Amino acid sequence: MLRQVAEGVLVHRSELLQNNTVVVQGTAGALLVDPGITGAEMGCLADDLRAMGRPVVAGFSTHPDWDHTLWHPDFGDAPRYATARGAAFLHELLSDAGWKDRVAEGLPPEIADEIPLDLFGRVTALPAGTTRFPWDGPEIRIIEHPAHAQGHAALLVEEPGVLIAGDMLSDILMPFPDPAAADPLADYLAGLQLLEEVADSVQVVVPGHGSAGAADQVRPRIALDREYVQALQDGRLADDPRIGASATYGTDWLPAVADWHLQQFGRKTD
């Protein structure tokens, strides 16, 4: 079911991983950002858009993780975009004859058979350095940064001030630095800095997973993510409510991921 979070901006939530598909209404139809994640959920979203009389005119993938690059036949053949670096990653993956098996290895086993991969990753690269989304709709700023994944980008729908944050600023997931980056922690902090620079323009933040937050939650979420990463730099785990005793999501797996983060990224002090 679609839920409006701001004028002209709606969110469709998946069940298992609480992925947020964001719908931005334009003049001729809708922009879909990170649609997912099961076939039934995407079919439901297509039905909702059809009932609203809003055809899909464009798609955008905030980054090349499997759950942010899906598509469904009922969305039609609208152009799907990603940053140049994000698209390059996906194109290289799809050039491997065994790409489907590689992607399938990372799917949650509970729903792996329900996730359609036939249209996975078929994105068009925006020119490097593109800062405005090319469409007939509200002005959308593209904020590309090095945090979390290659070619990651947030979108700022300037009016009414909605920040589509991709896999950052979640109320249920702590930061996931990119293990393939040369300096994952510094990259993550650089991404947070870019998001902080637009924080005063944000009325609603929509993370890739979890709940949307109002304007007064934007800076606290940035601060919480920053503290997690800086704690790793200090060789310790932060006292983070998303992995603490008060956590309500992922209690059976997120603490183990946090421990792995500390082993993988933690910088030991003298």
Say whether both 208 and 244 belong to one domain: yes
Q: Are residues 63 and 113 in the same domain?
A: yes
Reported as a pLDDT band with limits 50, 70 and 90, residue 266 is confident
120 or 268, greater pLDDT? 120
Domain shared by 73 and 174, yes or no? no
Residue with tokens 């309500």: 248
Check whether 270 has a pLDDT greater than 50: no
Looking at residue 253, its pLDDT comes to 96
- CATH for 6: 3.60.15.10
Secondary structure class of 234 (helix, strand, coil): coil
b/e map 186-206, b = 16+ CB within 10 Å: ebbbebbeebeebeeebbbbb
The residues that bridge with 31 in the sheet, in sequence order, are 24, 58
Q: How many domains does the chain have?
A: 2
- Mean pLDDT, rounded, of the chain: 96
Average of per-residue pLDDT across 82-88: 98
Above 90 in pLDDT, residue 1? no
Q: Is the pLDDT of residue 140 over 60?
A: yes
**Are 66 and 86 in the same domain?**
yes
Same domain, 250 and 163: yes
Of the residues 60, 95, 129, the one at which a domain ends:
129
Boundary-marking domain end, from 79, 102, 129? 129
Q: How far apart are CA 100 and CA 117, in angstroms?
A: 7
One domain for residues 233 and 149? yes
Q: Which amino acid is at 167?
A: D
What is the token pair recorded at 55? Answer: 């055809």
Q: Indicate whether 106 and 143 sit together in one domain.
A: no
| Residues 39, 111 share a domain | yes
**Residues 5 and 123 both lie in one domain:** yes
152: domain range?
Answer: 138-270
- If asked whether residues 142 and 119 sit together in one domain, one would say no
Kind and range of the H or E run holding 215: helix 215-233
Whether 157 contacts 150, CB under 8 Å: no
Task: Mark whether 175 and 246 lie in a shared domain.
Answer: yes
Find out whether 117 and 73 touch, Cβ atoms under 8 Å.
Answer: no
pLDDT tens per residue, range 49-76: 999 999 999 999 999 999 999 999 999 9
What is the per-residue pLDDT across 190-225, written as a single tens digit (0 to 9) for each? 999 999 999 999 999 999 999 999 999 999 999 999
Contact 115, 109 (CB under 8 A): no
Last residue of a domain, one of 129, 155, 178: 129
Quote the CA–CA distance of 255 and 211 in Å, as a whole number. 20
Beta strands in the chain (DSSP E): 2-6, 9-13, 20-25, 30-33, 56-60, 80-82, 124-125, 140-144, 153-157, 162-164, 204-206, 213-214
**Digit-coded pLDDT (tens) for 151-196:** 999 999 999 999 999 999 999 999 999 999 999 999 999 999 999 9
Kindly state whether residues 71 and 11 are assigned to the same domain.
yes
